[in-house]
A and B are shown apart, each in its own frame.
Chain A
Amino acid sequence: MKGKKPGYDRYAKYGYIFSIPFVIAFLLFSLYPTVYTAVIGFTDLKGLGMTDIHLLTDDLFRNFKTVLSNPSFQGAFKNTVVIWLCNFIPQMLLALLLAAWFTDKRSKVKGQGTFKVLLYMPNIITAATIAILFSGFFGYPMGPVNDLLVRFGFVDKPVELLRNKTVARSVVIFIQTWMWYGSTMITLISGILGISPEIFESAEVDGANRVQTFFYITLPNVKTILLFTLVTSLIGGLNMFDIPKLFQNGGPDNATLTTSLFIYNQAFSGSYMYNRAAAASMVMFIIIAILSAIMFFVMRDKDEVQLRKQIKQQQKEYRMRLKSGKENA
């Protein structure tokens, strides 16, 4: 009774055994906290050191309603999206431009390795450090930026730059862009290098210029990578915490308050409103889960899906042939 593959049954169990540590750790440290967070969102859990939970009896969705109608949360959500958008668009454009330059055979940029190393560097540095460094740069009365402004005569005396909402938000956007365009650029370069060189050669033979080559050949061929970058960046952006927290702690006047910072403030600084923080977390969780699902459908192993389709097709044909064979006989 041994099947076609004698090793099949004997070794299959190791697939399960070797996955056990991952599964246990996932259940304990990811799934349980997720479910627990969801449950807390429906309870009255608040106050330092409280752990007893009671489900809300009057209105189960009260926390969610409170959070969603909270102007502070709405503002935080708007900030998060605005900051993400304003950093993602320039970041993407810059990364695309640089990637096109670095991969263009006609310009043959020298010292690419060094440029890549330097442009990527901000990404590796602790975000907490960078946030404090920049808040020092914009310091009042004497930070480097004020020093420059006064020295070059833009202003007569130092200004309290970070009191201005637009300035504070712009600096956060700048830091985010500055930290991430290098990474996006390198991802894009590797995507462009993955395109078959023959396509570029034939475009050159056909007389396509740089701009045409970029829009008609490069861009369509890195679509998947662009989408991957978009979704991962969006998820990262929705969780932005370190920079706004340590740059101006959400200020001035909540101009740089993000949803992550809102959640942190609700739960861990002063008010200990775990229930509301949990409800806000779940709102973000749902948004991110939807984005992940989109990512999942895009990143699925396309070859495998194709293969499965083919197998099904063959089985169908085989059955059809059997059928027609019977009919013929």
Chain B
Amino acid sequence: MLKNKENLVMKIIIYVVCIFLAILSVIPFWLMIVNATRSTTEIQQHAISLIPSGYMMNNLKILLGKSFNPAVGFMNSLIISIGATALAVYFSSLTAYAQVAYNWKLRNAFFSFIMVVMMIPAQVTMIGFYQMVYKIHMTNNLAMLIFPAIASPSMVFFMRQYLQPTLSMEIVQSARIDGAKEFMIFNRIVLPIMKPAIATQAIFSFVASWNNLFTPLVLLTDQKRYTMPIMVSLLKGDIYKTEYGSVYMGLTLTVLPLIIVYLLLSKYIIAGVALGGVKG
């Protein structure tokens, strides 16, 4: 009896805490979306409201009338994120395949090297990177935000961990007997095997590159090249100082696509986090 009662109390505590935390996760975004539909006067009277109002289009008009251009930011972010993600997953898979399928002398040394550099963030070498890019006059070139993704040590690490138990060398051998070239074997046989790992890593790579602020902020000075996070940072500027509704509108525009995609893919994303794929 006592045990049951104790269990019940415990259960209530657990649900209360979890529901509280769930609300805590949602409420800032809910407030943001609601305030995006309210006029600045309404917000100034009462900044908290859970019920939307009717000033959405008005806020949007004020927002777009100034330097905030979400369409440009969206396109640039999309180009960078898709490009970087495609390169990262393809070449990381290739490098991981080289680790798993072939017996070469420097294999272990190379893998140790990857593990050593895996944790070093790009930020601490940004001064040198900026100077290098500046010297070759590529500061406003999106390619400089895409090509470095070819070398993604942590992704190589996880791709290798995935491939090692999954890849059967017999399939590779029989493809060789059928006369397939090594590069073709990778593209036609190994890549499809790696699909689940590629999907997970692609999601995280995409999100990381979409949300990245530091590198684009350093490299991009041309408004036409701005990415979404830089566009967002413009909302902090003086021109929107009194336009509360529009600022919330701008923030909502940048967040909504992410939330929608997240809710659609949440199953895979949670599974991916469980694999230990990302951490910041």
Chain A residues close to B by CB (< 8 Å): 5, 7-8, 11-19, 21-26, 29-30, 32-40, 45, 49, 51, 98, 101, 106-107, 109, 113-122, 124-130, 132-137, 139, 142-144, 146-148, 151, 178, 180, 182-183, 186-187, 189-190, 210, 225, 228-229, 231-233, 235-236, 239, 241-242, 245-246, 260, 263-264, 267-268, 274, 277-278, 281-282, 284-285, 288-289, 291-293, 295-296, 299-300
Contact = CB atoms under 8 A, between A and B. Distances in A.
A327 to B, nearest CB: 36
Given A109-B18, A132-B232, 5 more contacts: A7-B173, A34-B120, A37-B129, A231-B119, A246-B213
B25 A142 contact: no
A315 B11 CA distance: 58
Contacts of A18: 94-95, 97-98, 102, 186
Contacts, number: 304
B127 A22 contact: no
B269 A120 contact: yes
A147 B186 CA distance: 60
Contacts of B11: 107
Interface in B59-100: 91-92, 94-95, 97-99
B2 interface: no
Contacts of A288: 119-121, 124
21 contacts: A15-B101, A18-B186, A23-B151, A29-B148, A36-B132, A106-B7, A114-B22, A117-B263, A119-B18, A119-B21, A122-B25, A126-B229, A132-B236, A135-B236, A137-B28, A139-B47, A142-B47, A144-B48, A190-B275, A263-B127, A296-B115
Interface residues of B, number: 100
Majority secondary structure, A binding face: helix
| Residue of B47, B102, B278 with most chain A CB atoms under a 10 A cut-off | B47
A241 B31 contact: no
Contacts of B280: 180, 232-233, 236
A45 to B, nearest CB: 8
Contacts of B199: none
Contacts of B258: 124-126
B258 to A, nearest CB: 6
A242 B129 CA distance: 19
Nearest to A32: B132
Contacts of A45: 131
Contacts of B105: 12
A186 B124 contact: no
Contacts of A39: 128
Contacts of B128: 32-40, 278
Given A18-B98, A132-B232, A25 B150 contact: yes
| Residue of B233, B259, B263, B279 with most chain A CB atoms under a 10 A cut-off | B279
Interface in B3-56: 7, 10-11, 14-15, 17-18, 21-22, 24-26, 28-29, 31-32, 43-48
B117 A126 contact: no
B126 interface: yes
Interface string B229-262: 1001101100000001001100100110011001
Contacts of B103: 5, 8, 11-12, 15
B18 A98 contact: yes
Given A117-B263, A148-B48, A19 B279 contact: no
Nearest to B113: A26
A218 to B, nearest CB: 16
Given A121-B259, A126-B228, A285 B18 contact: no
Nearest to A260: B123
B142 interface: no
A180 B273 CA distance: 12
Nearest to B210: A126
Given A142-B43, A142-B44, A186 B270 contact: yes
Contacts of B102: 11-12, 14-15, 18
Contacts of B107: 15
Contacts of B217: 264, 268
A129 to B, nearest CB: 5
Interface in B170-200: 173, 182, 186
A284 B124 contact: yes
Interface string B138-182: 000000000110110100100000000000000001000000001
